[in-house]
Amino acid sequence: MTSAMEQLAAQGQSVWLDYIRRDMLENGDMAAMVADGLRGMTSNPSIFEKAIAGSNQYDDDIERFVAINPSATPVEIFEHLAIEDIQAAADILAPVYERTDGADGFVSLEVSPTLANDTDGTIAEARRLWAAVGRPNVMIKVPATKAGIPAIETLIGENINVNVTLMFSMDDYEAVSHAYLRGIEKAPDPSRVASVASFFVSRVDTAADNQLAELGDVAAPLLGMVAIANAKVTYQRYLELFGDDFEAQWGKGAFPQRLLWASTGTKNAAYSDIMYVEGLIGHNTVNTLPPATLDAFADHGSADVAALVEDVDDAHSVLEQLTAVGVDLDAITDQLQTDGVQAFIDAFEGLLGAIEEKRSALV
Tell me how far apart the alpha carbons of residues 89 and 137 are, in angstroms, rounded to a whole number: 10
Closest CA to 264 of 38, 90, 16: 16
Q: Are 33 and 107 in contact (CB under 8 A)?
A: no
Give DSSP secondary structure letters for 73-112.
-HHHHHHHHHHHHHHHHHHHHHHHHHHTTTSS-EEEEEPP
259 SS3 class: strand
| Phi, then psi, of 288 in degrees rounded to 5 | -100, 115
Catalytic residue among 141, 252, 267, 358: 141
| Phi, then psi, of 55 in degrees rounded to 5 | -150, 170
Q: Vertex 121, ends 111 and 88: CA angle to 5°?
A: 25
Please indicate whether residue 141 is annotated as part of the active site. yes
Tell me how far apart the alpha carbons of residues 133 and 73 are, in angstroms, rounded to a whole number: 19
Q: Are 90 and 71 in contact (CB under 8 A)?
A: no
Q: Are 274 and 296 in contact (CB under 8 A)?
A: yes
Q: Are 333 and 204 in contact (CB under 8 A)?
A: yes
Q: Are 183 and 164 in contact (CB under 8 A)?
A: no
140 SS3 class: strand
Q: In the chain, helix, strand, coil percent, each to 5?
A: 60, 10, 30
Task: Classify residue 348 as exposed, middle or buried by CB count within 10 Å of its CB (0-12, 13-18, 19+).
Answer: buried
Tell me how far apart the alpha carbons of residues 282 and 259 are, in angstroms, rounded to a whole number: 10
Q: Which residues are tagged catalytic?
A: 141
